[in-house]
Amino acid sequence: MNKKKRYAVMAAAICVFMYADANDTIRTGRIDEVVVTAERSRKTNIFETIPVQSLSGNDIRQLGLQNIADAVKRMAGTNVKDYGGIGGMKTVSVRNLGAQHTAVSYDGITVSNTQAGQIDIGRFSLDNVGMLSMAIGQGSDIMQTARHYASAALLAIETERPVLDKGDSRLRLALKGGSWGQLNPSVRWWCQAGENTMTTLDADYMRADGRYPFVLRNGKEKSNEKRNNSDIEQWHGEANVLHKFGDGGSLDTKAYFYHSQRGVPGSVVLYNDNSKERLWDENFFLQTAYKRHIARQWKLAIRAKYTHSWNKYEDTNAKYANGKKTEVNRQDEYYTSATLGWKPTSWLEMALAEDVAVNKLRTTVNGSPNPLRTTSLTALVSKAKYGRMTIEGNIVMTYATESLTESEKYAIKKPEDRKKLSPSLSFSYRLLPDEALYVRAMTKSTFRLPTFNDLYYLQIGNTSLRPENAHEYGAGMTWNSRPIGPLRYVALTIDAYYNDVTDKIVAFPSTYIWKMVNFGKAEIKGIDATMGTEVDIVKGYSIVANGSLTWQEAKDKTEGSATYGSQLPYTPKVSGGLSVMLLTPWVNVGYSATGQGKRYSMAQNTREYQLDGYMEHSLSLSRDFLLGDNMLRLQLTVNNITDKQYEIIKYYPMPGRSVTASATLDI
């Protein structure tokens, strides 16, 4: 279907639901405010028109997961690239669209990295996470930002917000330690400063030497080695002020700081894993979000954010003129967003979102013109619920322009301005009026702008690059059972999808050097399935189980390519995860497993580049103790209990068996 036809179908669908006749009655009146608190349901994804998977903070802690990447690996359709170790970089791709197509949101506002285009999710702490969710396409909140609507997938991190009475405060002290020198103290403090104001403070420190053992194999020979240059030391702190106004509005302000210094472990090839590369990272952002209903049918959300990122890369090697290579990069982003929502009837909602971002890069890398990019995103959104059907549609308009401060010095041509319309449409239908059985389907067009590295890095950058386009198509079925005796629920989802990526940005060899070009094309087909259930065994004893399974075929369809028809690198055909929690009055037991089938490190699908499949198992034991008015939680986690040696990235061995112990005191 061509662009004009897609736009016409979407416009017609939206118009039909805008002017349909609904026989709902609206009653108005005033009632006293009622505050209801409860744990979020694990089953809400079945009602959405798009696939959404989530993990609550409590589930994450019960399973003893160590970082955000460990949690994301348990979600269907996700592919996490992990370079191993506690401090290794970790990025996430959804349905093989690439990490640059996946947006990462922190308390409702996206995290940016215009230089590289991908976010290292390993830097985020799990200690203060209240909910972690992954949505294919945008999130489910109609009042979200235009950046969310423009993404192909959205990983949303929401921090925990306790409910306190006026004047109350809570303090949480935690200490975690484990294998390979891991030490991780943290402190959290919440205070209800006034009837309508809450303040929170979070701080944590983590260090580890990362010298985990592994077996090095070279043909028939093998030796026991230890990983080198995999140490990390990091600090993280954030402060929040959450205020509610008398008119129903709210203002949330967050200041966030992260600093780390780490070794960059090299690849292990022919008994040589020596590496003297070091990386320093700093990230600071200040963000604020204001929300309120401005009339019975209207609501407004305004967000603003300033981000400063700094990183330094250093490599000590005799091949450099002075024996050392140093690169320093600084990024600044000024971002603002406004979303206006309108609900003219009980069955129809509409929204208009406008985002503007200004990104600036300053680097010591010779040849960089220090670019500045201004991006405007406009999203027009409609969501209608009529009877048993829900339909959502949006159109995102993107405009990006760049200026180069030193273009003449390096003879670099300014890129052309980029304009793009990206439509999306999704729906769900409840098949039976008395059963939570739904079918759903979606189509979504997105693209990702070339990163600053794609355009300008050294001599391989190419300012003539076009945006990389992705078209997503999916259909599926979801079901949630009613409680049956001790069975609280069973939730099942299955979704089939087809993704078409064109103008893929790849590094391509030219006469003398590599060059970034729009050369690639990929077709991705797959099936995602998830399962969740909770069973009461006897009073005080219950089991919670969740599982995910993905089958995926991602082929290189680049005309003239020597690897045409081959499975894309690092794409297993089968992957999945399982978690089971046994909850008892005495001790809680959490078991989890993740695994992948065989895959290839290169586009050539030969035995030489094959990575074997693996399954990693973890076990966690925890118990809560009531000490007067205080609560103490002790937890012991054994990761990779079978001591399985495997690699996610070739020549980067993952850690074997490790033990982590933690104590958390709530005062």
pLDDT in tens, 519-542: 789 999 999 999 999 999 998 899
pLDDT confidence of residue 45: 73
- The span from the CA of 273 to the CA of 227, in Å, is 7
Query: What residues have CB less than 8 Å from 666, skipping those under 6 apart?
Result: 170, 171, 172, 630, 631, 632, 633
Task: Categorize the per-residue pLDDT at 348 as very low, low, confident or very high, splitting at 50, 70 and 90.
Answer: very high
Lowest mean pLDDT, pick from 41-45, 348-352, 462-466, 630-634:
41-45
Q: What pLDDT, on a 0 to 100 scale, did the predictor assign at position 37?
A: 40
Contact criterion met (CB below 8 Å) for 662 and 635 = yes
State the pLDDT at residue 31. 40
- What DSSP designation does 199 have? E
pLDDT of residue 277: 86
Q: What is the arithmetic mean of pLDDT over 655-659?
A: 92
pLDDT of 419 reads 93
Residue 2, CA atoms < 13 Å, CB-side half-sphere: 1
What is d(CA 625, CA 268) in angstroms, rounded to the nearest whole number?
45
Question: In sequence order, what are the residues at sequence separation of 6 or more whose Cβ sits closer than 8 angstroms to the Cβ of residue 349?
Answer: 142, 341, 342, 343, 382, 383, 384
pLDDT tens readout for residues 599-644:
998 888 998 889 999 999 999 999 999 998 899 999 999 999 999 9
Decide: residue 396, CB within 10 A, 0-12 exposed, 13-18 middle, 19+ buried.
Answer: buried
* CA atoms 496, 502, 507, 510: torsion sign: positive
- pLDDT tens, position by position, 312-341: 999 888 888 888 889 999 999 999 999 999
Selection from 358, 353, 345 nearest residue 400 by Cα: 358
- 537-562 exposure pattern, b = at least 16 Cβ within 10 A, e = fewer: eeeeebbbbbbbbbbbebbbbbeeee
| pLDDT, position 398 | 96
Give the model's confidence band at 499: pLDDT under 50 very low, under 70 low, under 90 confident, else very high: very high
Return d(Cα 204, Cα 201) in angstroms, integer.
10
Residue range 655-663: mean pLDDT, rounded: 94
Q: Can you give the pTM of this predicted structure?
A: 0.88
325 or 18, which is more confident: 325
Distance CA 371, CA 214 (A): 43
CA distances, 103 to each of 137, 149, 150, 153 (Å): 9, 10, 9, 6
With CA atoms as reference, report the closest residue to 403 among 440, 365, 456, 445: 456
C-alpha dist (Å) from residue 598 to 216, 564, 613: 19, 19, 4
Q: Token pair of 516, please?
A: 């970034």
Portion of the chain with pLDDT greater than 70, in percent:
90
Question: 322-335 burial by CB neighbour count: b if 16+ within 10 A, else e?
Answer: eeeeeeebbbbbeb
Burial class of 218 by CB neighbour count within 10 A (0 to 12, 13 to 18, 19+): exposed
Q: Which domains does the chain have, with CATH numbers?
A: 3-16+39-666 (2.40.170.20)
More confident: 6 or 443: 443
Which pLDDT band holds residue 230 (cuts at 50, 70, 90)?
confident
pLDDT (average), residues 30-54: 60
Residue 7 has pLDDT above 50, yes or no: no
Q: Select the more confidently predicted residue: 508 or 131.
A: 131
pLDDT tens-place string over residues 75-123: 999 988 887 667 677 889 999 888 889 999 999 999 999 988 889 888 8
Count CA within 13 A, CB hemisphere, residue 620: 27
Instruction: Tell me how far apart the alpha carbons of residues 495 and 243 are, in angstroms, rounded to a whole number.
Output: 40
SS3 label, residue 428: strand
